[in-house]
Chains A and B, each alone.
Chain A
Amino acid sequence: MKINTYQFIRKLHLYIAFSVLGFVFMYFVSGFILIHENWFLQSRPKTTSQQYAVRIPDTTSNDKIAAYLEKKFNIHAKRQRTGKHNDGSLYFEYIKPGGTYAVTVSPDKLQASLKIIKFTAPGIMVGFHRIHEYGGGWLYDIYVLMMDLASIATILFGLTGLYLWYKLMWKKKRWGIIILSLSIGYTITVIAFFMNR
Chain B
Amino acid sequence: MRNKLMKYHLFAGLLCFPYFIIFGISSLNFNHHFQFMEPGKNIIHWQKQIIIPPFQDEQQFSDAIRDSLGLIGWSPPWEIKKDTTGFQFMITHPGKNYAISVFNNEPVIKVEEARKGFWPVLNSLHGFNEKILGVPLFVNAWGIYSNVVVLVMLFSIISGIYIYLKNKKERKTGLFILFSCLGFSLLIMLLACL
Chain A positions near chain B (C-beta within 8 angstroms)? 14-15, 17-29, 31-32, 34-35, 96-98, 124, 127-128, 131-134, 139-140, 142-144, 146-148, 150-155, 157-158, 161-162, 164-165, 168-169, 175-176, 179-180, 182-184, 186-187, 189-191, 193-197
- Besides the known contacts A22-B186, A124-B193, 17 further A-B residue pairs in the complex with CB atoms under 8 A apart: A14-B164, A35-B146, A139-B188, A143-B188, A143-B192, A148-B27, A151-B23, A155-B25, A158-B17, A158-B18, A176-B11, A183-B14, A183-B18, A184-B18, A193-B136, A195-B95, A195-B117
Of residues A18, A147, A191, which shows the largest number of chain B Cβ atoms within 10 Å of its Cβ?
A18
Residues A190 and B142 in contact, CB atoms below 8 Å apart: yes
On whether A165 and B24 interact (CB within 8 A), knowing A28-B150, A143-B189, A184-B18, the answer reads no
CA distance A197 to B153 in the complex (A): 31
Q: A14-B174, A35-B127, A143-B189 are in contact. Are A180 and B17 (CB under 8 A)?
A: yes
> A146, B118: Cβ atoms under 8 Å?
no
Contact with A along B138-174 (1 / 0, CB 8 A): 1100110111011001100100100010000010001
* Interface check B44, CB cutoff 8 A: no
Cα distance, A180 to B135, chains bound together (Å):
25
- B residues contacting A by CB (< 8 A) are 6-7, 10-11, 13-25, 27-28, 30-31, 72, 93-96, 115, 117-118, 121-122, 124-125, 127, 129, 135-136, 138-139, 142-143, 145-147, 149-150, 153-154, 157, 160, 164, 170, 174, 177-178, 181-182, 184-186, 188-189, 191-194
Do B94 and A151 have beta carbons less than 8 Å apart? no
- Of the A-B pairs whose beta carbons lie under 8 Å apart in the complex, a sample of 12, sorted by A's number, is A15-B174, A20-B185, A21-B185, A22-B189, A28-B150, A28-B154, A35-B127, A139-B191, A182-B15, A184-B18, A191-B122, A194-B95
Give the distance to chain A from B112, nearest Cβ to Cβ, in Å.
17
- A186 x B138 contact (CB < 8 A): yes
A-B pairs, 8 with minimum CB distance: A22-B185, A194-B95, A155-B24, A151-B27, A158-B20, A187-B18, A154-B24, A98-B193
Q: Which of B14, B188, B192 contacts A96 (CB 8 A)?
A: B192
Q: Chain A residues near B16 (CB, 8 Å)?
A: 158, 183
Task: Note all chain A residues with C-beta closer than 8 A to B135.
Answer: 193, 197
Residues in B with CB closer than 8 Å to A96 are 192-193
Q: Is the CB of B17 within 8 A of A162?
A: yes
Q: Is the CB of A21 within 8 A of B150?
A: no
Q: In the complex the two chains form, what is the Cα distance from A151 to B24 in whole Å?
A: 4
B18 touches A35 (CB 8 A): no
CA distance A140 to B125 in the complex (A): 27
With A147-B27, A148-B31 known as contacts, the answer to whether A165 contacts B10 (CB < 8 A) is: yes
